């Protein structure tokens, strides 16, 4: 599919935008805002952070393929000079490779060949953790997304289409800035999770049956897959 947004009509562009601006990240952000307003405890915030991070990974997946095309559009036009400076600022401090950024989102771990994150989220104090949550929910990405959604609802026009595409490119750069910010943090949403009792029981039963010789051995990868565990 082409990612040349300059050639899209407003209707085409709005359709292309839907999985980007409607991804679960934005609903999770609203829940996280509410929890912070309620002064919720760390456990509640950490639970929602898992959803927030998964939503971020979903947004990254949507923007991963068209990224170079969007950057090319930004670099090619003088009307985006102010955005070009922001692109240069991100690229000047990026530490990870494109493959490394994908690896972090897919496996929650950076490539060994890339610089390692300086900050482990689970090691933050309660105050530091809450401050990070405040930073994330107040990221400019969310205001930029609201502007894109607002412009999507306007009556189609040449001027309106240009405004919508410009607003989206601002949103895209807010995403790049968030991605660069998160490079400094090591976060594994599954870290510290315990097996559910029913899963633990099934594992124990499988081990007992194997040791007794009543069942044929099954590769551990297959067991993990059936139980919904990462391996």
Q: What is the pLDDT of residues 177-222, one digit of tens each?
A: 999 999 889 888 766 544 445 545 554 555 455 455 554 444 444 4
State the average pLDDT over residues 11-31: 95
CA–CA dist 120, 179 (Å, integer): 16
Question: CA–CA distance from 93 to each of 11, 43, 61, 111, 151 (Å)?
Answer: 36, 32, 22, 18, 32
State the average pLDDT over residues 109-126: 80
CA–CA dist 168, 33 (Å, integer): 23
> In sequence order, which residues have a C-beta less than 8 Å from that of residue 59 and are 6 or more positions away?
20, 23, 25, 175
Per residue in 163-195, is it b (16+ CB within 10 Å) or e — as a string?
A: bbbbbbbbbbbbbbbbbbebbeebbbbeeeeee
Q: What are phi and psi of 28, to 5 degrees?
A: -65, -40
DSSP string, 204-228: HHHHHHHHHTSS----HHHHHHHTT
* Least confident window among 54-58, 173-177, 218-222: 218-222
Helix, strand or coil for residue 185?
strand
Identify the pLDDT of residue 221: 47
CA–CA dist 19, 58 (Å, integer): 9
Instruction: Classify 114 in phi/psi space as left (phi over 0), alpha (psi -120 to 50) or beta.
Output: beta
Tell me, yes or no, if the pTM score tops 0.85. no
Dig out the tokens for 220 from the structure: 């551990």
């Amino acid at each position: 599919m082409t990612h040349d947004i300059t050639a899209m009509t407003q209707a085409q562009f709005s359709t292309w935008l839907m999985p980007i601006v409607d991804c679960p990240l934005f609903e999770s952000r609203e829940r996280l805002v509410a929890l912070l307003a309620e002064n919720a405890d760390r456990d509640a915030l950490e639970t929602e952070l898992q959803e927030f991070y998964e939503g971020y990974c979903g947004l990254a997946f949507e923007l991963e393929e068209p990224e170079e095309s969007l950057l090319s559009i930004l670099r090619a036009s003088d009307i985006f000079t102010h955005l070009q400076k922001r692109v240069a600022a991100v690229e000047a401090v990026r530490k990870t490779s494109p493959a490394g950024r994908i690896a972090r989102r897919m496996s929650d771990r950076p490539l060994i060949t890339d610089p390692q994150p300086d900050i482990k989220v689970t090691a933050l104090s309660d105050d530091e953790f809450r401050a990070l949550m405040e930073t994330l929910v107040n990221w400019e990405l969310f205001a930029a997304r609201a502007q894109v959604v607002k412009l999507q609802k306007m009556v189609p026009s040449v001027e309106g289409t240009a405004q919508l595409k410009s607003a989206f490119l601002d949103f895209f750069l807010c995403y790049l800035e968030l991605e660069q910010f998160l490079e400094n943090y090591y976060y594994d949403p599954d870290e510290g999770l315990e097996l559910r009792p029913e899963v633990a029981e099934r594992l124990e039963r499988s081990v007992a049956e194997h040791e007794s010789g009543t069942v044929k051995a099954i590769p551990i990868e297959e067991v993990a897959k059936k139980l919904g565990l990462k391996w």
